Amino acid sequence: MSEFARWLGFGVGVVLAIGTVVAVMKTLIVPRRSWSFLAATVGRLGYRVFYGMAARLRSFDHADRLLGFEAPTVIILTLSSLLGSFTLAFGLMLLPWAGTVGDALRESGSSVFTLGFVSTATPVPTALDVTAGATGMIFVALTIGYLPSLYAEVRVREALVKQLEVWTGKPSWGPEILARFALVGGLDRLPALYDEWSAWSARVADSHMKYPVLTHFRGPRSHNHFVVALLAVSDAAALEIAARPDGDHTEAQLLLRQAVSCLHDVAYPMRRIPQDLERVDLDRADFRAGWQRLLAAGYPVEADADTAWETFASIRTHYAAIADRLLYWTIAAPAPWSGERRGFPGLTDRPDSPEVWTLV
């Protein structure tokens, strides 16, 4: 290899090392929306492979099990790619002092992984070896802090989803939420529910915008999903406003505003989902079924079905379409009023609708 080529490799290595440091900072440290090209590319490839495979399976349960490995696999590949990029960068920087490219990469790997079985006893390569070793240790330390943070956010996210599931059945459905609270005489507790989900939406928006991989983590239960739950609570709030137009719906309105913001923030990193969708994504016959569920549960409606439909449809245009596209592309748990799932057209599930329901 010519001397020029070796020093050219050194220069490329310096640029690659700086770029990888920036990528690590964007991926693991910077507390705002900032994604590196490397991490984004690995993520998109991983998602396409997993969702493509899942959409071809005949059973949704099998697809859900497969997708349970999607986010962890993408994380491992992303971290491995960043570590590999550091190894390549230091290998290129060692070229002027190494016999061959293989020798340079061998020494770089020895240093980045802090193994120390290869070194060059001259000042500049020694300095590069020490820097590579320190880089590897810092990267590992950052990773140790990164992974628990991700799983903590998943646990917090799923806790409220599980609570809603226990209270109102699974999968979550807006009319069933109102019906269950009506059956136990707990309609006065709905504002507190909306407050909880408003705070939850703010936290999910913040964490999932910064760490897009969180969107692809499946919950511990296959027949519910955090977007399904948020859509159901939003539908419950919109339906309450439509069915009881004269009431005080401050908490419901605040929840809806927060839910819209949350859904857009969660959807933004996926790129392929437009941000200007304004469709109801629900036909009047499905609405009638939900309305009948409210009447059967003794929910105190104040408006007629046709008037309520107009109001409900107007409110739903702000959030339903973006939620439905999220659920479609992530092949989330099927649920009423939530659109199709990629690879499983026509598949739906519905929660139980008891005529009598108690808290004990």
**pLDDT tens per residue across all 360 residues of the chain:** 788 888 999 999 999 999 999 999 998 888 777 778 888 899 899 999 999 999 999 899 999 999 999 999 999 999 999 999 999 999 999 999 888 899 999 999 999 988 877 877 788 989 999 999 999 999 999 999 888 999 999 999 999 999 999 888 889 999 999 999 999 999 999 999 999 999 999 999 999 988 999 999 998 877 889 999 999 999 999 999 999 998 899 999 999 999 999 999 999 887 767 656 767 678 899 999 999 999 999 999 999 999 999 999 999 999 999 999 999 999 999 999 999 999 999 888 888 888 777 766
Q: In a 10 Å sphere around its CB, with 0-12 CB exposed, 13-18 middle and 19+ buried, how is residue 186 labelled?
A: middle
The 10 Å Cβ neighbour count of residue 130 is: 12
Q: Pick from 257, 235, 232, 237: which is nearest to 247 by CA?
A: 237
C-alpha torsion sign, points 86, 89, 94, 95: positive
Alpha carbon 346 to chain centroid distance?
24
Q: Find out whether 332 and 54 touch, Cβ atoms under 8 Å.
A: no
> Three-class SS of residue 344?
strand
Give SS3 for 255: helix
Please name the amino acid found at residue 217.
F
Q: What angle do CA 308, 205, 282 make, to 5 degrees?
A: 30
Query: What are 102-122's pLDDT values in tens digits?
Result: 999 999 999 998 887 787 778
- At residue 178, what is the residue type? L
Structure confidence at residue 357 (pLDDT): 74
pLDDT digits (tens, 9 = 90+) for 309-319: 999 999 999 99
**Residue closest to 140 by CA, chosen among 90, 86, 176, 96:** 86
| Per-residue pLDDT, 349 | 86
State the Cα–Cα distance between residues 258 and 234, nearest whole angstrom: 10
Q: Which residue has the tokens 């599931």?
A: 165
Burial of 115 (0-12, 13-18, 19+ CB in 10 A): exposed
> Max Cα separation, the chain?
86
Tokens at residue 101, please? 């490219």
The pLDDT, as a whole number, for residue 280 is 67
Global pTM reads 0.91
| 3-state DSSP assignment of residue 341 | strand
CA distance 320 to 249: 19
Q: Is 233 left (phi over 0), alpha (psi -120 to 50) or beta?
A: alpha
CA distance 251 to 190: 9
- Give the pLDDT confidence score for residue 276 in this predicted structure: 61
